A and B are shown apart, each in its own frame.
Chain A
Amino acid sequence: MKSIKFFRILFLFFIFFKTTAQEFKLGKVSVAELEQKVHPKDSSAAAAILYKKGKARVEYDTNDGFILVTQVDTRIKIYKKGGYDWANQGVVYYVGSNDSREKVDFSDVNTYNLVNGKIEKTKLKSDGVFNEEVNKYRSRKKITMPNVKEGSVLEFSYTVRSPNIGMMREWAFQTGIPVNYSEYATYIPEYFTFNVRQKGYIFPKVTSERNNKSIMINSKERSEGIGPTTTTFYTDKVDYMETETTYIAQDLPAMKEESYVNNIDNYTSSLEQELSMVKYPNSPMETFSTDWNSVAKTIYEYSDFGPELNKTGYFENDLKVLLAGVTKPEEKILIIFNHVKSNVKWNKYYGYSCEKGVRKAYQEKSGNVAEINLMLTAMLRYAGLTANPVLVSTRSNGIALFPNRTAFNYVIGAVETPEGNILLDATDNFSVPNVLPTRALNWYGRLIRKDGSSDEVALMPKKPSSDIVFMNYSVDADGKITGKAKRQCSDYNAMIFRGNISEQKEEAYLEKLENDNNKIEISEYSRANEKELLLPVSETYSFTGSNLCEKIGDKIYVSPMLFFADEKNPFNQETREYPVDFGFPFLDKYNITIKIPDGFEIETLPVPAAMNMEGDLGAFKFNIAASENTLQMSVSHQINEAIFSTEQYEMLKEYYKTMIAKESEKIVLKKI
């Protein structure tokens, strides 16, 4: 539950701005804006958005009914050549089907420069506008601005016309460059209700008002009968209320990439809108999604989701054979899981909706995530288990923070047992029950039952995945090392290790292992449980190395963990903007036996040490002891949480610093 708490904390730290709605109009570029040499708050910025103003309006069109028109006006300042990319702009739009085909138009595209103290305006002509047909579903309208130099101010406006009012776009207040002013307004007739979601660290100021509006609906009626046909025209005036909501944020710093970040979009200040209810006069109310339960129910009722779970005919015969005589639930789970994994291959497409359907996927032996995991769930149900689909948002899709249908883009299966849920994803070759591919490891999923009820399911693993090394080696009088090592990986580490070794031939793997580990020479290499996915996987090898110790004068300096020592602190940033995400908790353990050469004695030994992070977030233990010419050593490094908050960053950084300093201490051997 720690992770959810953490996100609540974020919400408490909103930054509210004192905002005064500013009058910005395209075309009114000032000399001061053109003269500015650097951004006043971020001198390293190559460009900045001086303002960006969006209006999303649901309006009535006599031909198409209610449509969504979004207009965005932007003014950008270019400070340095590195910001020239901002002079190329593109808007992607949907062209897949006739009834939801979108239209995009750019207008008022101008570049402003200061020439001898005077403002010079260069207008974009048609030779700077391009339409790229990306594929049969999407197109992209692009512009490239004329006459751009360091110091230029660029302005452009675009309008997206969409016949589907459910397609309101996400509004990002923040981006890779500073944003001085960002305003977004929605105009929604009373017939529609949208859910609004805000995320990120900076929250806009919201104001709202209600306006009286009316629409004219024209209709005609033809009367046929005896005599000439007459046509009567009617015009109906319909009055309604429209809600105008304005969001304003100012002085937003540039987003910066960091390592160990799950997905930077999770932290970008932005706004999402989703249609949740439609209520026309004299018609029943139609709801779409207002909370997680109704989102789940809505998705379950989609024809390419729930009904796909009810189909069983296509696999029944196969399963009867496979499950004959099997009674234990855990055995059934494994048999079915392996059957799906080995027979239906993932085509690398995400989604919780089936494309060709489970039956066809089973016949063709390939399918998308939904086809594979819904088929899996259906088979588990057929075998008498309590199995349900779990909706997931992948890491690349961002954390599913707010209830809406687009929050999810993936689905896995779960079996309810007295010991808790067993999570299953059959799209990955090396995934096993409760070890999901990293892409699906993203906070919480939503489990949906047959009756449409749903529950939150924690996806982040609690159990540490281990990486255990046994090594014994001897040092000879010249500092050359000969030894044996065994490395054993469990759970997530095992999945990653298996993924790794499957990608390369053994010889290439060994060559890399040798080169990565100080050019040791490896022999007698073997692996155990490579294919036994439920067991930890291990590799064993003998090695020799002449670069592993240093012989200085008549002393030998041994770095006792050899190539297993962590040498670099991955957390070397001075400050941290976003949480650190390890993906899963882990335990690295080393048991090492060292034999020192004849004729040498130990001059100095590292001192045993131990440290714990606050709140049991992690622990490091380092033990070493000598008896005659043999040294025994045990080291463990354990991280108990997958995610560390920015407040915990300093502690994590210090922990790594201390650990690395300890691991790099040397044993000094002296000639007797």
Chain B
Amino acid sequence: MKIPCYALLFFLFTLVSSAQKGTYLISTIKDSLKENANSVVRLDQMDIVIASQRSMNIKTQRVVSVLNEKGLNDIDAYQHYDKTTAIKNIEAVVYDAFGNEIKKIKRKDFRDQSAVSGSTLFSDSRVVYLDYTPISYPFTIVYTSETETSNTAFIPQWYFLGGYYLSIEKCVLNVAFPNDLGFKKKEFQFSGYNIKKTVDTDTRLSYEAVNISAQKAEDLSPSSRDLFPRIMMGLERFHLEGVDGAATNWTDFGKWYSDKILAGTTDLPESTKLKIKEVVGNEKDPVKKAKLVYDFVQKKSRYVSIQVGIGGWKPMLASDVDRLGYGDCKALSNYTKALLQVVDVPSYNTVLYGDRYKFDIQSDFVSMQGNHMILAIPTGNNYTFLECTSQDDPFGYQGTFTDDRDVLVVKPEGGEIIRTKIYEDRGNIQRDKAVYTIDENGHFSGSISILSEGSVYSKKMQLEHLQPTEKEAHYKEYWDNINNLKLGKVTFTNDKENIRFTEDINVTAANYGAISANKMIFVIDAFNQYTGSVKRIRNRKNPFQIQRGYLDTDEIEINLPTGFSIEFLPSNFELKNKFGEYKTEIIKSENNKLIYKRSMFLNKGKYSNKEYDEYRLFMEQVSRNDNAKIILTKN
């Protein structure tokens, strides 16, 4: 009975394609959707059919009218596949502005390529993507694909709006599922958008959204995950790369993870057990023991990412990491755990989103989440977290990649959501102590000691790895306010015990003081100017946020040239508001000496779009005052 089936399919197909002709005319796009848009998504429809715990079929239909070259990225005509996810079909048809078909692109004309990306050494993931050269703009692409997978642990998140400078005419999501798998969903940021839930039964869920206008990207905005409407979906009974799972709460989920994913991965050879016992010696204190073990791992291993099949979730065996000396975040965390076990220090695999932008594991939505793993060691009522992929991080330091966010700590008795370490704004310190001398020709020579702590440390510790030419380039960029800068001796002190980084630097620069006629002018604050520029944004729409605050304090001693007297000295300055505090002070001391004191404190915080201009003006005043100049006259 195959033939009638094909005939029917064919018939349906011709129906569909003839229906499409003339449907997607550029002229029918509303003006409001063209505003700020590089492309208009005419239809974005996903039909997810979960047939069973081990079978999910996804059909995608995406019709995008690309208005100009920048809109090309919004076509999104690509599909990943691997051993457990198969592409059943993929196709695209291109129409010109008037709805005439110009080109049909079949699967064989899509490019098929390995999806191994930057930091990954090897993975079995591949990608099929459309490589189309537009002949003219605007045009419309109708992209359809269908995939089939046995992994039901990840139901794709649904974004009604996929990005900036992109508008949506119509967006449809249909999900069908058996009523016994515990399907669940969570809606985010729906308010202000025209989104309708059209079906919501125990086997079906549907949404439809129409006419979402394009948004502009604005500096300091929260991530689009925290801004745009989206839906998370999941199953209480799911399947992952050959392993079934079931969980309704984090306790169960943690148990499943421990039993099915982590169990049996921490065996170590006897020789290694002996060695680590020897390393730890007679130490009794669990934290001190953990420090010794962490140091051992840092010296022994390196980060290499290999993701194949279940290996994308299950850590490599600790005995393999022991033999090979490498692994990814899961492997290295798990290896450290295995070693800690040997010396009777408990520790737990911890799943989270590793990113400079703080992003939480959604605590009220029990499911596989996160993109990174670290290790948690209980210390009293608290935890110390170890970043096992780093060979340089001090013990327990969380920098800016894993700090201040909700994470899932996986204990054998169950999972638990915990907040990681918060680096307080006033603890994110940069303290400068400096002296410089200006000679009668305006030449500059000086030295500075810069001490960094807290989240600032994570940026500074990387200086140690710079090659001499990179180091030179770094400081010439950092002090780009000093022209003709010449770098002298540079010494770094990395105090890992107290997590403190110190740079001691000598610099000289010709013509720092600008001489015109009998006057010399120069900027007093040579070493720590606020140079970041807060952009002027016309009609800001989004709220903004400062994720981490800091406190800079500077004290600079200035030796003025002999034979000059001060014609003008900037006055002391103070500024204080909800964003922070800023203060500068200049003290005239004996024999041609000045002391310049500056402090700048910035709060972290979330603010509304209305407050943005206020913030900009605050930073502008700081920047202007940092640029205050002294004027000397020749006697």
Contacts and interface: CB of A to CB of B under 8 A. Distances in A.
B533 interface: yes
A514 B519 contact: no
B514 A666 contact: yes
A547 B624 contact: yes
Contact of B323 (A88, A146, A503): A146
Interface in A71-91: 80-82, 84, 87-88
Contact of B304 (A144, A348, A503, A569): A144
Contact of B536 (A82, A135, A514, A572): A514
Contacts of B468: 44
B116 A132 contact: yes
A190 to B, nearest CB: 42
B101 to A, nearest CB: 13
19 contacts: A44-B467, A80-B465, A88-B121, A128-B324, A134-B114, A144-B326, A150-B299, A256-B469, A364-B103, A366-B134, A507-B538, A511-B536, A515-B535, A547-B624, A552-B568, A572-B484, A573-B469, A606-B516, A668-B516
A33 interface: no
A135 B113 contact: yes
Contacts of A503: 69-70
Contact of B533 (A150, A515, A568, A572): A515
Closest 4 CB pairs of A and B: A347-B133, A366-B133, A365-B135, A147-B325
Contact of A133 (B114, B514, B537): B114
Interface stretch (A181-189, A291-299, A657-665): A657-665
B323 A147 contact: yes
A128 B135 CA distance: 46
Given A88-B121, A550-B629, A134 B113 contact: yes
Nearest to B134: A345
Interface string B27-42: 0000000001000000
Contacts of B111: 135
B302 A81 contact: yes
Given A502-B69, A664-B514, A668-B519, 13 more contacts: A80-B465, A81-B391, A127-B320, A142-B121, A146-B325, A147-B325, A347-B133, A504-B70, A547-B624, A553-B568, A606-B516, A660-B483, A664-B483
B583 to A, nearest CB: 20
A122 B325 CA distance: 10
A343 B183 CA distance: 52
A237 interface: no
Contacts of A365: 135-136
B484 A657 contact: yes
A91 to B, nearest CB: 14
Interface string B613-635: 00000001000100001010000
A136, A505, A567, A665: most-surrounded residue (chain B CB, <10 A): A505
Interface of A: 44, 46, 80-82, 84, 87-88, 122, 127-128, 130, 132-136, 142, 144, 146-150, 256-257, 345-348, 364-366, 502-505, 507-508, 511, 514-515, 519, 547, 550, 552-553, 557, 567-569, 572-574, 604, 606, 657, 660-661, 664-666, 668
Nearest to A78: B302
B120 to A, nearest CB: 10
Nearest to B535: A515
A127 B324 contact: yes
Given A84-B302, A346-B133, A568-B480, A665 B514 contact: yes
Contacts of B300: 149
A552 B631 contact: yes
B121, B133, B304, B514: most-surrounded residue (chain A CB, <10 A): B133
A574 B112 contact: no
Nearest to A668: B516
Contact of B483 (A127, A144, A347, A568): A568
Contacts of A81: 302, 391-392, 465
B155 interface: no
Contact of A256 (B112, B116, B467, B483): B467
Contacts of B142: none
Nearest to A143: B121
A138 to B, nearest CB: 10
A519 B537 CA distance: 11
